[in-house]
Amino acid sequence: MTAIDAHTAHNYAPLPVVLAHGDGAWVTDVDGRRYLDALAGYSALNFGHRHPRLVAAARAQLDRLTLTSRAFHHDGFAAFTRELAALCGKDAVLPMNTGAEAVETAIKAARRHGHLVRGIPEDQARIIVAAGNFHGRTTTIVSFSTDPDARTGYGPFTPGFDVVPYGDLDALEAAIGPQTCAVLLEPIQGEAGVLIPPTGYLTGVRERCDANGVLLLADEIQSGLARTGRTFACDHEQVVPDVYILGKALGGGIVPLSAIVADRAVMDVFTPGSHGSTFGGNPLACAVGVEVVRMLAEGSWQRRAARLGARLADGLATLPEGALDAVRVRGLWAGIDVAGGRGGREVCEALYARGVLAKDTHGSTIRLAPPLVVTDDEVDLIVSVLGEVLVPGGAQRVRSLAAVGQAGVGRSG
């Protein structure tokens, strides 16, 4: 038998599980073994695997029209852009496909706005970013990454970015100069380990941006769309960025769909021919995307994430002292630094052996981001399995995975 990775680039090191089926918060491998998915496609699966409402929308569209290119209008485009703009409280949407493309689009919008609207001399516009950022994998985006794994060997890099420590308002203020056109931030740094900035940081960044005519670009690709218990992570400080950058869950776990959302003053820097994408805003993606927006407009997913997240935080707090160095939870999203110098990868392998799929981020940090369809029992299950792995023999309420899996699989929302 040929190894499963014999004909692929080795740019990932997956857990040794081969999945064949997914339903809600659960996936099944080729041998019929079931796992609770505590990663949810890095939040691309906020609504779980194959949510019936989203699958129905995709199916109906598949039978009608799937791709037009933007050379022509299609009949699902206006509703998707109107309703997503309304969800964000903004005027307009520019759809792309992957998250990295949406970040690139936001960078282009900010640079053009700087040059054409604010009068920054051509080719001089600069963007402030945060150390530890993750905004995607294009050559320009890795140009301002601080992660050697993401950068090494990929130069020459795109100039025009200034990196400041995340969470440090004074450093950000000091970095703002006459050529600064934008600040690009994750309101919570996901890949860095679910790092939540100090309270008041986002508000402070907004104030500094306003005082200097600088745009605030919020990368909500992983943090947005209900994950943190609010529609956007920025909502926790009532901060409204100039540009929302969205992706991942916007495609409902079915299709790649990303977007930037902004008011006309920013969006109108784009003119015909100045930017585009063959697949951006295609009929199939819009059909799924508008259904995602309608689900979020009801508010129940956000409330569910907040409630389950509080349960997850309470559960993690019961784990014996000494098992964890730090826990950061916002909504149904947790970054956990495991103690004792244990590698995050090793912990994820042990979780996998017990039927829970999760992913390490860096070193000894693991991230938990189960689909928002998980039940209370399933949240408790994640905590107890984690307890079993971190404190062998120490988990108080370990339940049979199969029992919870059968009794607990359900959907809501």
Ligand X SMILES: *Cc1c(COP(=O)(O)O)cnc(C)c1O
Residues near ligand X (CB under 6 A): 42, 98-100, 103, 134-136, 186, 190, 219, 221-222, 247-248
Q: Smallest gap, in angstroms, from Cβ of residue 16 to ligand X?
A: 23
Q: Smallest gap, in angstroms, from Cβ of residue 254 to ligand X?
A: 14
Which of residues 259 and 401 has its CB atom nearest to ligand X in the complex?
A: 259
Residue 95 has φ and ψ, to the nearest 5°, of -85, 140
Task: Evaluate whether 341 touches 364 at the Cβ level (below 8 Å).
Answer: yes
- The CA distances from residue 182 to 127, 289, 291, in Å, are 5, 28, 31
Which of 410, 352, 353 lies closest to 378, judged by CA? 410
Q: Smallest gap, in angstroms, from Cβ of residue 405 to ligand X?
A: 28
Which of residues 250 and 401 has its CB atom nearest to ligand X in the complex?
A: 250
The angle at the Cα of 41, spanning 161 to 290, to the nearest 5 degrees, equals: 85
Contacts 24+ apart (CB under 8 A), 165-170: 165/130, 165/131, 166/130, 166/131, 166/132, 166/133, 166/192, 166/195, 166/197, 167/130, 167/195, 167/197, 167/198, 167/201, 169/201, 169/204, 169/205, 169/208
Which of residues 100 and 390 has its CB atom nearest to ligand X in the complex?
A: 100
Residue carrying the six token digits 């998707």: 80
Q: Smallest gap, in angstroms, from Cβ of residue 260 to ligand X?
A: 12
Which of residues 248 and 330 has its CB atom nearest to ligand X in the complex?
A: 248
Which of residues 180 and 223 has its CB atom nearest to ligand X in the complex?
A: 223
Sequence-ordered list of residues with C-beta below 8 angstroms from that of 108, at least 6 positions apart, any chain: 270, 275
Q: Smallest gap, in angstroms, from Cβ of residue 102 to ligand X?
A: 8
Q: What is the DSSP letter of 64?
A: T
Which of residues 282 and 384 has its CB atom nearest to ligand X in the complex?
A: 282
Residue 9 has φ and ψ, to the nearest 5°, of -60, 150
H/E stretch holding 337: strand 334-338
Residue nearest to ligand X (CB): 99
Which of 202, 283, 281, 196 lies closest to 246, judged by CA? 281
Sequence-ordered list of residues with C-beta below 8 angstroms from that of 138, at least 6 positions apart, any chain: 100, 101, 103, 104
Q: Give catalytic residues, as residue numbers.
A: 134, 219, 248
Which of residues 190 and 371 has its CB atom nearest to ligand X in the complex?
A: 190
Query: How long a stretch of residues is the chain?
Result: 413
Q: Smallest gap, in angstroms, from Cβ of residue 248 to ligand X?
A: 6
Sequence-ordered list of residues with C-beta below 8 angstroms from that of 413, at least 6 positions apart, any chain: 47, 295, 300, 301, 304, 372, 373
Q: Smallest gap, in angstroms, from Cβ of residue 141 to ligand X?
A: 8
Using DSSP's 3-state secondary structure scheme, residue 394 falls into: coil
Q: Smallest gap, in angstroms, from Cβ of residue 103 to ligand X?
A: 6
Which of residues 98 and 302 has its CB atom nearest to ligand X in the complex?
A: 98
Buried-state track 147-157, b at ≥16 Cβ within 10 A, e below 16: eeebeeeeeee
